[in-house]
Amino acid sequence: EGTSLSKTIVRLSEDVVNKIAAAEIIHRPSNAIKELIENSLDAGSTSIKLTLKEGGLKLIQITDNGHGINRADLPLLCTRYATSKLRKFDDLQSLVTYGFRGEALASISFCSHVEVVSKTRDEGCGWRAHYANGELVPAKPGMSSDPRPAAANDGTVISAEDLFFNMPMRKRAFKSPSEEYNRILDVVTKYAVHNPHAAWVCKKAGTALPDISTPAASDVKSNISLLYTPSLAAELLEVKETVLQPADKLGAKCRGWVSSANANWARRGGWLLFINNRLVESSKIKKAIESLYTTVLPKGASPWVYLSLEIDPAKVDVNVHPTKSEVHFLNEDEMVEAIVAAVHGALANANVSRSFNVQP
């Protein structure tokens, strides 16, 4: 049958379907990191530590102090579309947690070896479990795949080893672990700026000095100072929380910190956009704000911008595919205009030495 020219339609096996889906969600280590971080934040963590080997390709390990995972939930943990956060389709519209459809851990388990150790506050001990292809598997051949009791702190440790070990083409695409590590640092830095209540650590395995380290109960500006530069932080202007107008139509608030006309910025990128606490891209918002800045910055210079938008989920297209970090809104043009107006307000109010007159 293999050599015939027939065009018989066959179903792809479930395993192939799941692998395709996994590869769409986890393109590279930093995508996995983002999903794992959001899970830790969803679990209420105030401490999040990441350890990486070979830019995450060899090992990603994330340790949090969140609410942990019940023993009873471990069998379904890595099953595709298994989630504690979404019950019915309507929930998508009102969802406040970040990940939303139970695909992240499943995807990671389809392209790496996953180990989970987790302990809730009510349980006397933690549980250790291993996963492959969405399911519990034995730690070693011949052993049972049931989770086993383990000494553990409250919270969850998730390790993903040998990312893309079963996707040789994908694996070969990564030439430089250090480039992947830099992408990871970028993601962690941005989440640390946006979530200063938590203490963050990110380091390479086997090194003593972390590349990222922030204290708990910090604030946005202190973390920018720590993670970018003190001089950038000193120059930043606050965009105080603003209800975007027209309020009824847009259903959105905006706040953030932006560079002034004479800022001396930015080591690791200058664009941080969070919508409903998820790091996203919006080329429309980015373009509009960059063009606002062209009137105040020297030629060739670009601004440093951190914006956090809270938008009524009914006005954001939350059901976009998780790999599409580019978001869209209802009333997009008005939304962008209102955001630019908020940033313009911060620039215009600033008591900067250089005088300027911004025309958006």
Please classify residue 283 by burial: count the beta carbons closer than 10 Å to its beta carbon, then call 0-12 exposed, 13-18 middle and 19+ buried. Answer: exposed
Binding mask 14-53 for Mg ion (x = CB under 5 A): -------------------------x--------------
Residue 99 interacting with Mg ion (CB under 5 A): yes
Cβ–Cβ < 8 Å for 220, 255? no
Using CB under 6 A, pick the residue from 19, 30, 31, 35 that binds ligand ADP: 35
Q: For Mg ion, which stretch binds (CB under 5 A), given 22-30, 97-105, 170-178, 348-356?
A: 97-105
Q: Is 104 a binder of Mg ion (CB under 5 A)?
A: yes
Distance of closest approach, residue 91 Cβ to ligand ADP, in angstroms = 11
Neighbours of 247 (CB within 10 A): 11
| Exposure string over 99-132, b if 16+ CB within 10 A, otherwise e | bbbbbbbbbbbbbbbbbbbbbbeeeeebbbbbbb
Residues 149-188 vs ligand ADP: string with x where CB under 6 A?
-------x--------------------------------
Residue for token pair 């600033």: 350
Give me 297's structure tokens: 């910055």
Q: Cβ distance 254 to 238 under 8 Å?
A: no
Identify what 84 binds: ligand ADP, Mg ion, none; CB under 5 to 8 Å per kind.
ligand ADP
Cα 174 from Cα 325, distance rounded (Å): 21
Q: Are 106 and 140 in contact (CB under 8 A)?
A: no
- Is 77 a binder of ligand ADP (CB under 6 A)? yes
Least CB distance to Mg ion at residue 107 (A): 10
Span interacting with Mg ion, options 73-81, 96-104, 275-283, 291-299, rule CB under 5 A: 96-104
Q: Which residues bind Mg ion (CB under 5 A)?
A: 39, 99, 104
